[in-house]
Amino acid sequence: MNHLFIIRHAEDLNDSNQKITPSGIDMLKFAARDMNSIIGGTNEKIYLASSKYLRAINSSKVVAEELGIIMTENDLLNNCERMSSTQLDELYNLVSSIENEYKAIILMTHVPNAQFFSAHFMKKRFDKSIALVRPIYASFIDINCLDSIATYVRLECDGGLEAKRSIL
């Protein structure tokens, strides 16, 4: 695995089906294209796992369709509260167990998982502490495993979609 992407689901319509808003769909498609360009423009060997909550599944479907890949669901990504150290280790072990099979791994999840798992992964893998960020909808954290650098990619809509990057 060269890159681990931890992405927060997009905003939903607050209906029972938790359909993604039109602007959320646009942001997810933009994020998918951005992630694809980061890993070299190929959709080969990309693993996409999603929380089982509908807003995350619906977000994952947009990303999967844009990248031409399939999505799997994983209970470890369901937590909408801060994860325990045991849960963080379980997710770390999952990623570690499949990382040699994939060029990139994408985890579609919720704020606490994106915040705390990215920090946990960087500390455990590279013994580096990073700033905790609260990702806005459809924004993501890119952990470059080759260079051991974590970058927050914040998507903004000021007249058009734009990705703002900051090293953590």
Q: Position 86: which residue type? A: T
pLDDT digits (tens, 9 = 90+) for 41-81: 776 789 999 999 999 999 999 999 999 999 999 888 887 77
pTM of the model: 0.93
The answer to whether 71 and 96 are in contact (CB under 8 A) is no
What is the three-state SS of 85-130? HHHHHHHHHHHHHHHHHCCEEEEEECHHHHHHHHHHHHHHHHCCCC
Domain containing 33 equals 3-167
CA angle 79, 10, 13 (to 5 degrees): 100
Can you give the CATH number for the domain in which 66 is found?
A: 3.40.50.1240
Q: Determine how β-strand 140-144 pairs with β-strand 149-157.
A: antiparallel
- Structure confidence by residue, pLDDT tens digits, 134-167: 888 888 999 999 999 999 998 877 667 888 888 8
Give me the number of domains the chain comprises.
1
